[in-house]
Amino acid sequence: MKLNMQSKLLAAALAASAAAVTLGSPAAQAQAKEQFFPVLSYRTGAYAPNGIPFANGYVDYLKLVNARDGGINGIKIAFEECETGYATDRGVECYERLKGKGPTGATAFHPLSTGITFALTDKSFVDKIPIITTGYGRADSVDGTVFGWNFPLGGTYWDAADMLVQYVGNKEGGLDKLKGKKIALVYHDSPYGKEPIALLQERAKMHGYELLLLPVTHPGVEQKATWLQIRQQRPDYVFLWGWGVMNSTSIKEAVATGYPREKMYGVWWSGAEPDVVPAGEGAKGYNALVFFAPAGMGQVHKDMVKYVYDKGQGSGKKEEIGEVLYNRGLGAAMLTVEAVKRAQIKYGKKPLTGEQVRWGFENLAIDDAAIKKLGFTGYMTPVSTTCVNHAGEAQARIQTWDGKKWVVQPGVIHADNSIIKPMIRSSAEKYAAEKKLPKRDCAKEAG
Amino acid sequence: MKKHWPVVTLGTALLIGLALPLATGASPPGFYVEVLLGGLMAGVLYSLVALGFALIFKASGVFNFAQGAMVLFSALAVARLAERMPLWLAILCAMAIMVVLAWLIERLVLRPLVNQEPVALLMATLGVTYFLDGFGQTVWGSDIYEIELGIAKEPVMILERVFRGGILVNKEDYVAAIVATALVVSLALFFQKTSTGRALRAVADDHQAAQSIGIPLHRIWVIVWSVAGVVALVAGVIWGSKLGVQFSLAQVALKALPVVILGGFTSVTGAIVGGLIIGVGEKMAEVFLGPVLVKAFDLAGGGIENWFAYVLALLFLLVRPEGLFGEKYIDRV
Amino acid sequence: MLYRENGQFKSTYVSDQQMLPILQDRVLMALLLAFAFGVVPFVISDYVFLSLLIPFLILTLAAIGLNLLVGYCGQISIGHAAFMAVGAYAAYNLALRIPQLNFIVVLVLAGLIAAMVGMLFGIPSLRIKGLYLAVATLAAQFFMDWLFARVKWFTNYSSSGSVSTAPIELLGWKVDTPAEKYVFLLGVLVVFTLIAKNLVRGHIGREWMAMRDMDVAAEVIGIRPVYAKLTAFAVSSFYVGVAGALWGFVHLGSWEPLAFNLNVSLNLLFMIIIGGMGSLLGSYFGAAFIVALPILLNQVPAWIGVPVSTAMASHLEFMIFGALIVFFLIVEPHGLARLWAIGKEKLRLWPFPH
Amino acid sequence: MNRAFPVGEVVLSVENVSLAFGGVKALQDVSFDVREHEIRAIIGPNGAGKSSMLNVINGVYHPQQGTIRYLGREYHDMDSHEVAQSGIARTFQSLALFKGMSVLDNVMSGRNLKMRSGILLQALRIGPALREEVEHRAFVEGIIDFLEIQAYRKTPVGRLPYGLQKRVDLARALATEPRVLLLDEPMAGMNVEEKQDMCRFILDVNDQFGTTIVLIEHDMSVVMDISDRVVVLDYGKKIGDGTPDEVRANQAVIDAYLGVSA
């Protein structure tokens, strides 16, 4: 009987591998008139607490468009989720699995991990599918002439770092006052966390502040030593570049070592509810960048409740609608949908290929009126892109945690392109050389 | 005739390294003490997890890779149950769950594999680890959860007169340390004094012999795994209340491996001392040695505490394979 | 009655020592290779290449490497991804700093470097065994993770710490499309499998197995433990290093140290447990299994109409992996390979079981 | 009796060897010698230190005091693989075969000493490497025939009955072409005809290859029949040494040992 069980198992294993080979031929998909949206998410593992709300927001918006508008100008949205677990190789597998689905293939990918973004960037040149990184990804990919398919919409980490430096500079009463000051960067030890370093060093040269680099190893629950060093060095400011459980841990350790939270500034991925709530009262006074206003209910959220949640279609809990990361997902989905709309004007109201959608992404023009129409008033700033500039104008604000909710500080901060642009150039050049890439001529494509 | 000098040299090297920051004035004494305390705090927790390892290894000869997963699992259980019931009750229920778990593991994993070579058992516990990670997240969810022990998190200054700038400590750490120490002591007593403890030791020395003199092997195993489960629970609660209960707890617990190597697999004392050594060692290394290395080799940041423990254990293995307090074994032909 | 060896008498030791003594096996193997090289590249979809076959081929190579050490020489390692990383970064730097180097040369050199590092971390195995060694190899894992994340030179001072590579080129052949990659990898794998087979049936292989089965006796009949163990570590790391280089260059194209973390090591270990310790064929089975399972778990439920949330799927994956490891250790410690062998035995006797 | 290889000079002598594990004294100041081509037996009740004696001779244990003199060379802590290289082979009391390997591979592994080809050549299995495999295979087949285990060549040793495993153990030792062969209770746990076979093989080995043999056995009868000289150990001390007849007559031996069985 034991043997019998074994041979069964063998059979199962073989069947499994056999099945594995047969699947994946995209031909098998339903060929309806639909636009296919791949969804790379992580709802498990060390980063699930942040991955879940973003994924919910993203998926919910797609559902909303279908339920409220009957799709994008009549073209229904089809979508499929794939769990990356924030791991690069898994992300690549998901990408390969989803890129061919739907009648016209994937619309655009949101890798939701800088590591995965790096891997997908190489493939985008072959597959001609846009890689959308709303507020993450590689900073130099703003340059559309080299990175033909990356769209770091809303701003890159260089923008973010630049904004933070400006902000604390003004706090001190002018950037020149930063001379001799000490700024510590506590960062997630991954491509994501390392991105801002280049700019911070650049700025350090300009203003003469000392930059302290304190990497925190994945997943970031072990930070005692890091914060002891901070206690020893007593930096004037701490910039936090964390993700997942690392954020809350940092704030807790800051409490434990008595570092004033008021002097801590997080990137926009270190400023969500799951980051501060676990630290409880201790998080009071902690600041973080934000590009959409944080929580609260706008028109889009009301619609969401009406069309999706009241029908029991919601992905998450009703009360989580409007949380920072949820909104982040919402916005990401919205931008993609808008790009499709834009592209439909040029190519007609039919399912579009990734390449066609790219045109939409390169010609986004979402002004305040459009934002109002979308019900995002107060939740985002205008976005306009071109073939050369794939990011649009980067601007954000600072929010502060008052112990219960995020309070947005007045004043919008703009990244200083006079510093960033040249860095992007040189970095993009380097990449193009390394990869032996041909350069795009935007002028010609336009004409 | 036993060669002591390598151990001695390694030991002295460590001590010198420990003293250096103070001697060279690289750090103000007050801060030095803080680092030391920080190290000890971490160390106590390492000891706790390591204790679980040692217990199980002693009694069942199993190198339980799943100890970390058990920490996570129990912590998740407490956190989620505490949402529906008072904490103390939640903890009791969690304990019950851990006992059931122990029984299941003994039944489904250990018993069929009895008298397999240790490496096979190690791999089996790897399997258990994966299962628990998945199962735990399925049952309890994979979000961050809170365990509120109701201890003030704000730090307090002490000894301002003794050291300039005083020493920063927080209550939480102390409570943690005290609880851990208490647990450790009681376990040590349990081992030395109670009859079950003696039975455990007998089993550890020789399974067949133990059985032949009528010690119920399987029950002993269940007991040990339960105890290990409870130890994991305590570690999980303490850790969880510090860091929030979350998937990545399991990974912190990996640190217990170098600890048991250092202390010797079979030794309770070893687990404790080893834990403290590792804890202090890695924090010291990170805070004082790290920056030096970064400057010297133009590294992209320190973070040496991630491997320090393991490399230390490795060096130690080379000079004294049986660990600080473990027994030596001889091959027979 | 097809699968019979009657009348196939061996008159010389050479013919008796050949890899596949039975005629039918030789024929089968030939057909299989012909199919893999001649048919597969033209009929399979890119997705299957990119997310099943290519990872499968590379991981099989790595699994063989680990199997040589754990399965044949009996030295356990739970840090082998570290040597994959060494291979990958060595290859990256070689290709970067000596551009005119042929990729094959790069591969071999990368493998050799990995082999050296492997020997270094193998030294403890001369003094310690089993569990102790397992922890020692963990040291390799964490130290290497750290090294490549921190020492800027290895990543050519890239600001993000992530490195990326240009498509590989061999004497004018640009290995670019999935099918091409597949063919290239398959070629590499076949060669390395042959070499591994030769090693394990040569006297070095016997030394390894002797070490594994009864180290004291092995030394008593004149086998030098130092030589046997260190060669095992070296060859194993060489294989794994080459696999790492391929993983980076052919599969990922750009990666960061996290791509070779502890989980990869554990997965390799699972491959050889499930596939079969001390069996090259087992390495193939194991790799296939580990690569296919998560993908199936993600897709099968959808086909059969019981959609499982992505989170649930990945939790299931963890549980099934775990359960299977235990299951195999208990029911069939020699893994799928053994089951395969049993099946063959049956076929041999069929239709007369006695 | 007339034999092809008459007993010759002393090849191996053990001088004042003492060995202890922690407090336990396994051997105390033991000395004896072994002559070329002779069959030398070490007997004694269980725990007398017989196996320890062998382990000292072939370097598994390193005695705290005393030396071993072999072919004029002195050593007291040589590693066992070096001992093997110098031509001393041995079999084991508790079977120490390579369970995972076939009978053929087990015996072949005895030839490793003689195999020279480098790892690269083996990897490609060309030229010398391949030739070597074939030559040594031929030699090994000789031994396999000699011990009459042809039928089991390809069987994993684990599946063989005990008696045959003992034979494979012997075959593996012979494959190293030893000058001195140490046998650790070669007949332990065998039935009568298995024992007779084994005796025959031992005598044949000694007779045909002229191999010097040192064997441990507690089955008196067998020992007395086949061995030229006998050493008697008790509690780690040597209490008797000489021809079987002398030993039989030795009072100390009778008290310590024969008395028990008689």
More confident: C345 or C63: C63
Q: Which of A123, A138, A434 lies nearest to residue C166, judging by beta carbons?
A: A434
Determine, for residues C160 and A138 on separate chains, whether the beta-carbon distance falls below 8 Å: yes
Q: Which of C131, C220, C311 lies nearest to residue B63, judging by beta carbons?
A: C131
Structural domains in chain C, CATH included, are 46-349 (1.10.3470)
Tell me, what's the pLDDT at B1? 39
Query: Is the Cβ of D102 closer than 8 Å to some Cβ of chain B?
Result: no
Alpha-carbon span C159 to C163, nearest angstrom: 10
Determine, for residues A225 and B41 on separate chains, whether the beta-carbon distance falls below 8 Å: no
Share of chain C above pLDDT 70, in %: 95
Residue pair B21/B284 in contact (Cβ under 8 Å)? The answer is yes
Which of B169, B243, B297 best probes binding to A when mutated, by most A CB atoms within 10 angstroms? B243
Mean pLDDT computed over D88-112: 90
Neighbours of B178 (CB within 10 A): 11
Picking from B322, B200, B265, B321, the residue whose alpha carbon sits closest to that of residue B51 is B265
Does B18 fall in a domain?
Answer: no
Tell me, what's the pLDDT at C9? 66
Q: Which of D98, D108, D124 lies nearest to residue C198, judging by beta carbons?
A: D124
Alpha-carbon span B5 to B1, nearest angstrom: 11
Q: Which of C51, C161, C340 lies nearest to residue A96, judging by beta carbons?
A: C51
Neighbours of A33 (CB within 10 A): 12
Determine, for residues D105 and C209 on separate chains, whether the beta-carbon distance falls below 8 Å: yes
| Among chain B residues, CA nearest to C315 | B134
Residues D219 and D232 placed together within one structural domain of the fold = yes
Q: Which of B1, B330, B333 lies nearest to residue D92, judging by beta carbons?
A: B333
B1-15, B232-246, B260-274, range with the lowest pLDDT: B1-15
Chain A contacts of C253, Cβ < 8 Å?
119, 122-123
Chain C contacts of D92, Cβ < 8 Å?
217, 220
Chain B contacts of A276, Cβ < 8 Å?
none
Length of chain D: 262
| Among chain A residues, CA nearest to C286 | A13
**How many domains, chain A?**
2
Residue A341 sits in which domain range?
A: 29-155+297-384+423-446
Residues A272 and A407 placed together within one structural domain of the fold = yes
Residues A208 and A338 placed together within one structural domain of the fold = no
Buried b (16+ CB within 10 A) or exposed e, C56-68: bbbbbbbbbbbbb
CA distances from C287 to B169, C40, C60, C274 (A): 50, 19, 5, 9
Residue D166 sits in which domain range?
A: 99-175
| Among chain A residues, CA nearest to B282 | A225
| Among chain B residues, CA nearest to D184 | B333
Beta-carbon contacts of A78 under 8 Å, excluding residues fewer than 6 positions away, are A32, A34, A35, A36, A37, A102
Residues D8 and D29 placed together within one structural domain of the fold = yes
Residue C51 CB-half CA count within 13 A = 27
Residues D82 and D186 placed together within one structural domain of the fold = yes
Neighbours of C303 (CB within 10 A): 12
Determine, for residues D92 and B1 on separate chains, whether the beta-carbon distance falls below 8 Å: no
Write the pLDDT tens digit of every residue in C112-126: 999 999 999 998 888
Tell me, what's the pLDDT at A396? 87
Chain B contacts of C333, Cβ < 8 Å?
116, 120
Place of tokens 């299994």: C289
Chain C contacts of B118, Cβ < 8 Å?
130-131
Chain B contacts of A229, Cβ < 8 Å?
286-287, 290-291
Chain B contacts of D184, Cβ < 8 Å?
333
Tell me, what's the pLDDT at C283? 96
Tell me, what's the pLDDT at A21? 44
Does A185 fall in a domain?
Answer: yes
Residues D117 and D82 placed together within one structural domain of the fold = no
- Joined together, the tokens standing for residue B50 give 């390591």
Mean pLDDT computed over A162-187: 93
Tell me, what's the pLDDT at A10? 45
Does B11 fall in a domain?
Answer: no
Does A94 fall in a domain?
Answer: yes
Residues A353 and A427 placed together within one structural domain of the fold = yes
Residue B238 sits in which domain range?
A: 29-319
CATH code: domain of residue B125? 1.10.3470
Does D64 fall in a domain?
Answer: yes
Does D152 fall in a domain?
Answer: yes
**How many domains, chain D?**
2
Alpha-carbon span B194 to B208, nearest angstrom: 21
In chain D, where do the E strands start and end?
10-21, 24-35, 39-43, 65-70, 73-75, 88-90, 180-184, 212-216, 229-234, 237-242
**How many domains, chain B?**
1
Let me know if chains D and C touch, i.e. at least 3 Cβ pairs under 8 angstroms.
yes
Determine, for residues A436 and C309 on separate chains, whether the beta-carbon distance falls below 8 Å: no
- Chain D nearest-CA distance from C215, in A, is 9
Amino acid at the residue D24:
V
Beta-carbon contacts of D197 under 8 Å, excluding residues fewer than 6 positions away, are D163, D167
Does A368 fall in a domain?
Answer: yes
More confident: A132 or D21: A132
Mean pLDDT computed over A424-431: 89
Place of tokens 């009262």: A281
- Chain C nearest-CA distance from B115, in A, is 12
Banded model confidence at residue C89, pLDDT cuts 50, 70, 90: very high
Write the pLDDT tens digit of every residue in C270-296: 899 889 989 999 999 999 999 998 888
| Residue ending a domain, choose from D142, D175, D208 | D175
- Residues 38-97 on A with a CB inside 8 Å of C are 41, 43-45, 48, 52, 81-83, 85, 87-90, 92-93, 96-97
Q: Is the pLDDT of residue A123 over 60?
A: yes
Residues A56 and A106 placed together within one structural domain of the fold = yes
Residue pair A158/A415 in contact (Cβ under 8 Å)? The answer is yes
pLDDT averaged over every residue in chain B: 81
Write the pLDDT tens digit of every residue in C155-182: 888 877 888 888 888 877 888 888 999 9
Q: How far apart are the first and last CA of chain B?
A: 23
Q: Is the pLDDT of residue B250 over 90?
A: no
Write the pLDDT tens digit of every residue in C174-230: 888 889 999 999 999 999 999 999 999 988 999 999 999 988 899 988 899 999 999
Q: Hey, which chains touch A, using 3+ CB pairs under 8 Å?
A: B, C
Q: Is the pLDDT of residue C104 over 80?
A: yes
Q: Which of C51, C55, C164 lies nearest to residue A122, judging by beta carbons?
A: C164
Write the pLDDT tens digit of every residue in C132-146: 788 888 889 999 989
Residues A175 and A217 placed together within one structural domain of the fold = yes
Residue A210, phi then psi, degrees to nearest 5: -95, 130
Tell me, what's the pLDDT at C289? 92
Residues A226 and A243 placed together within one structural domain of the fold = yes
Tell me, what's the pLDDT at B327? 64
Q: Is the pLDDT of residue B150 over 50?
A: yes
Alpha-carbon span B217 to B194, nearest angstrom: 17
Residues A151 and A207 placed together within one structural domain of the fold = no
Residues A151 and A164 placed together within one structural domain of the fold = no
Does B17 fall in a domain?
Answer: no
Q: Which of C202, C204, C219 lies nearest to residue D81, judging by beta carbons?
A: C219
CATH code: domain of residue D8? 3.40.50.300
Tell me, what's the pLDDT at D262? 38
Tell me, what's the pLDDT at A11? 47
Picking from B240, B204, B251, B230, the residue whose alpha carbon sits closest to that of residue B65 is B251
Does D92 fall in a domain?
Answer: no
Residues A120 and A206 placed together within one structural domain of the fold = no
Does A220 fall in a domain?
Answer: yes
CATH code: domain of residue A409? 3.40.50.2300
A77-81, C43-47, C288-292, range with the lowest pLDDT: C43-47
- Joined together, the tokens standing for residue C213 give 């089965």
Determine, for residues A434 and C164 on separate chains, whether the beta-carbon distance falls below 8 Å: yes
CA distances from A256 to A293, B48, B109, B153 (A): 30, 22, 42, 7
Residue pair B44/B256 in contact (Cβ under 8 Å)? The answer is no
| Among chain D residues, CA nearest to C217 | D96
Mean pLDDT computed over A338-348: 93
Alpha-carbon span D241 to A266, nearest angstrom: 87
| Among chain D residues, CA nearest to C225 | D81
Picking from C56, C64, C76, the residue whose alpha carbon sits closest to that of residue C272 is C64
Alpha-carbon span A43 to C312, nearest angstrom: 9
Q: Which of B1, B330, B333 lies nearest to residue D96, judging by beta carbons?
A: B333
Residues A162 and A284 placed together within one structural domain of the fold = yes
Q: How far apart are the first and last CA of chain D?
A: 29
pTM recorded for the entire structure: 0.88
Q: Is the pLDDT of residue B243 over 60?
A: yes
Let me know if chains C and A touch, i.e. at least 3 Cβ pairs under 8 angstroms.
yes
- Alpha-helical (H) ranges within A190-323 are 191-194, 197-207, 224-233, 245-256, 273-276, 299-303
Write the pLDDT tens digit of every residue in A229-239: 898 888 999 99
Write the pLDDT tens digit of every residue in D205-219: 999 889 999 999 877
Does B275 fall in a domain?
Answer: yes
Determine, for residues A96 and C47 on separate chains, whether the beta-carbon distance falls below 8 Å: yes
Share of chain D above pLDDT 70, in %: 97
Does D15 fall in a domain?
Answer: yes
Tell me, what's the pLDDT at C235? 97
Query: Is the Cβ of C169 closer than 8 Å to some Cβ of chain A?
Result: no
Tell me, what's the pLDDT at D259? 54
Residue C344, phi then psi, degrees to nearest 5: -65, -45
Tell me, what's the pLDDT at B263? 84
CA distances from A229 to A254, B294, B299, D224 (A): 11, 13, 16, 79
Q: Is the pLDDT of residue B160 over 70?
A: no
Alpha-carbon span C322 to B230, nearest angstrom: 22
Beta-carbon contacts of A404 under 8 Å, excluding residues fewer than 6 positions away, are none
Residues A404 and A256 placed together within one structural domain of the fold = yes
A375: left (phi over 0), alpha (psi -120 to 50) or beta: left
Alpha-carbon span B323 to B315, nearest angstrom: 11
Chain B contacts of A197, Cβ < 8 Å?
300
- Residues 225-244 on D with a CB inside 8 Å of C are none
Alpha-carbon span B75 to B249, nearest angstrom: 9
Q: Is the pLDDT of residue C107 over 90?
A: yes
Does A150 fall in a domain?
Answer: yes
Does B54 fall in a domain?
Answer: yes
Query: Is the Cβ of D60 closer than 8 Å to some Cβ of chain C?
Result: yes
Mean pLDDT computed over D232-251: 88
Determine, for residues D80 and C220 on separate chains, whether the beta-carbon distance falls below 8 Å: yes
Does B297 fall in a domain?
Answer: yes
Does B15 fall in a domain?
Answer: no
Q: Is the pLDDT of residue A295 over 60?
A: no
Residues D236 and D158 placed together within one structural domain of the fold = no
DSSP structure class, residue A243:
-
Mean pLDDT computed over D101-113: 91
Residues D252 and D128 placed together within one structural domain of the fold = no
Mean pLDDT computed over A247-276: 90
Q: Which of C131, C139, C333 lies nearest to residue B314, judging by beta carbons?
A: C139
Banded model confidence at residue C4, pLDDT cuts 50, 70, 90: low
Mean pLDDT computed over A102-122: 89
